[in-house]
Amino acid sequence: MTTDVFKSARQTPIPTNGGFLAAAQIPTVVQDALASIPFIDIHTHLFTPGFGKLSLWGIDELLTYHYLEAEFFRSSRMTLEHYWTLSKTEQADAIWRALFIENSPISEATRGVIAVLHAFGLPTDQTALSEARNFFRAQTLEAHIPRVLEMAGISTVVMTNDPLDPEEAPLWLNGVQNDKQFHAVLRLDRILNTWPDHWQALAAQGYAVDAKASGKSVAEVRRFLSDWAKRMQPVYMACSLPDTFEFPSDTLNCLLLREAVLPACRESNLPLSLMIGVRKQVNPRLRLAGDAVGKANLRSVEALCRDFPSNRFLVSVLSRENQHELCVFARKFNNLMPFGCWWFMNNTSIVEEITRERLEMLGTSFIPQHSDARVLEQVIYKWANTRRTLAPILAENYRLLSEDGRGVTAADIQRDVTRLFRSNAESWMDLRPRS
Ligand code: FIX
Ligand code: ZN
């Protein structure tokens, strides 16, 4: 299954009779469980080949990932304005030179590119990218996707699909082919966060809505959501929300959430994913890399979970300062599922902190991570990092459990890792292959 990072650590034979593990055996059993269980990646920006150029892959896309663009401008004298005039290949060359040749690629995102090149047996220290480009050029996406998912140790990918995206929406309206490993999500940012800029797109699809969302607008948004739920067969509906998000409040966002989105989720029996705490475009000159983070008031989550008990909320928060609160609210509301270490949280030191407190406060009743991959091969390093980071944390929890007086078996560990990375998601969303 995944690259054999851990197999060499096997020392003492593991009891096969379901016997309790000795403390020294626990780390290997945890590593093997993490390595052998295929994970479900519940949030990505990946697409199947049917979405054409929306599906990003290969070395130039890996290098021009917005995480690396943000780092590039800290290590290059190139102006942003000049950078945006370059071709994708020229941009990738500039980023490779500045972050991988002229400096050591020790950041999480640069190390990721190195790990991907290494996983394919490609050189990681050459000035030119020709060998890597030739390699990726020789791949066919149809064969490359399952191979990459296998290398990453994931069986299932959940996409992010925007029914108002001018490039993506027509593909769905013309009927895009399903893929058994990819599932859709109905993403609602344009409706909930930027209605004034996007209500016309709904009107253009034949829904009687207006700028103030007055009259039939709310009912028409509900009809829009139910039509797209039938078309996309999403596994959940989702929206990222700013750090200033307040619920309840007298805003259009809250009106649409309360009167259209939450009822539509109940009607289609879909969870709603809320990703809270982004400060959009604090530096628009950086484009996709221009977003930042802010501490949110999570009492909005408290109100939503309390006031809408028959809705289920998948929640990820962007601010480090909000992580503990989210854990506490999850102890209060079982219609709340914390998931992932989102975006600026997806760094080993912070993933360790968040995962430790979640295990201590929630046991295995949360979803530890998602990749948020925008480029296909990113799943290889993002999931290798997750397995590498979580192994010692899980092993330590089992060591403490056996020290406290309860023996641990290999089957316990297999069950728990399966719950964290598969069955929690499977119990919250319908991940059966779409026909
Ligand atoms: O809102 C989101 O889904 C975010 O993950 C993205 O907007 C963000 O750009 C990203 O790629 C984070 O990793
Ligand atoms: Zn995302």
DSSP string, 159-198: --B-TT-TTTHHHHHT-PPPBTTEE--EE-HHHHT-HHHH
Which value, to the nearest 10 degrees, does the dihedral of the CA atoms of residues 190, 194, 200, 201 take?
-10
The partner residues of 126 in beta bridges, in order of sequence, read: none
Residue 222 beta carbon below 6 angstroms from any ligand 1 atom: no
**Statement: residue 161 has pLDDT above 50:** yes
Cα distance between residue 88 and residue 62, in whole Å? 11
181-190, pLDDT tens digit by residue? 999 999 999 9
SS3 272: strand
Question: Does 274 sit in the ligand 1 pocket, CB within 6 Å?
Answer: no
Atom 13 (ligand 1): residue with closest C-alpha? 343
Residue showing tokens 């290059």: 76
Question: Mutate which of 44, 45, 287 to test ligand 1's pocket (most atoms within 8 Å of Cβ)?
Answer: 45
Nearest atom, ligand 1, residue 187 CA: 3
Residue 371 to residue 348: CA distance in whole angstroms: 13
> Taking Cα atoms as reference points, which of 100, 109, 104 lies closest to residue 70?
109
Taking the CA of 41 as reference, the closest ligand is 2
Strands 272-279 and 292-293, bridge-based pairing? antiparallel
- Distance in angstroms (rounded) separating the CA atoms of residues 213 and 246: 19
The pLDDT tens digits for 25-57 are 999 999 999 999 999 999 999 999 999 999 999
Whether residue 240 has its Cβ less than 6 Å from ligand 1: yes
8 Å CB contact between 205 and 224? yes
Ligand nearest to the CA of 275: 1
- State in Å, rounded, how far the first CA of the chain is from the last one: 26
In the DSSP assignment, the letter for residue 433 is P
Residue from 314, 316, 372 whose mutation best tests the ligand 1 pocket (most atoms within 8 A of CB) = 372
Residue 178 confidence (pLDDT): 82
Structure tokens at 227: 């039509």
The pLDDT value given to residue 113 = 98
The protein residue with its alpha carbon nearest to ligand 1, atom 8, reads 343
Tens of pLDDT, residue by residue over 233-262, are 999 999 999 999 999 999 999 999 999 999
The response to whether residue 286 sits with its C-beta less than 6 Å from ligand 1 reads no
Helix (H), strand (E) at residue 199: helix 195-204
The continuous run of DSSP H or E covering 241 comes out as: strand 237-242
pTM of structure: 0.95
6 pLDDT exceeds 50? Answer: no
pLDDT at 160 exceeding the cut of 60: yes
Indicate the burial class of 25 (C-beta count within 10 angstroms; 0-12, 13-18, 19 or more). buried
Asked whether 372 lines ligand 1 (CB < 6 A), one says yes
Tens digits of residue pLDDT in 15-27? 555 689 999 999 9
Q: Is the CB of 161 under 6 A from ligand 1?
A: no
CA 41 – CA 367 distance, rounded (Å): 10
Q: Is 385 in the pocket of ligand 1 (CB under 6 A)?
A: no
345 alpha carbon, closest ligand = 1
Closest ligand 1 atom, residue 346 Cα? 13
Q: Are 71 and 109 in contact (CB under 8 A)?
A: yes
Q: Mean of the pLDDT values across residues 207-228? A: 97
- CA 318 to chain CA mean position, Å: 12
C-alpha dist (Å) from residue 377 to 63, 118, 205: 11, 12, 34
Buried b / exposed e over 89-107, threshold 16 CB at 10 Å, is eebbbbbbbbbbeeeebeb
Query: What is d(CA 183, CA 179) in angstroms, rounded to the nearest whole number?
Result: 8
Instruction: Kindly give the number of the ligand 1 atom that is closest to the alpha carbon of 278.
Output: 1
pLDDT category, 177, cuts 50, 70, 90? confident
Q: How far is the CA of 343 from the centre of ligand 1 (A)?
A: 6
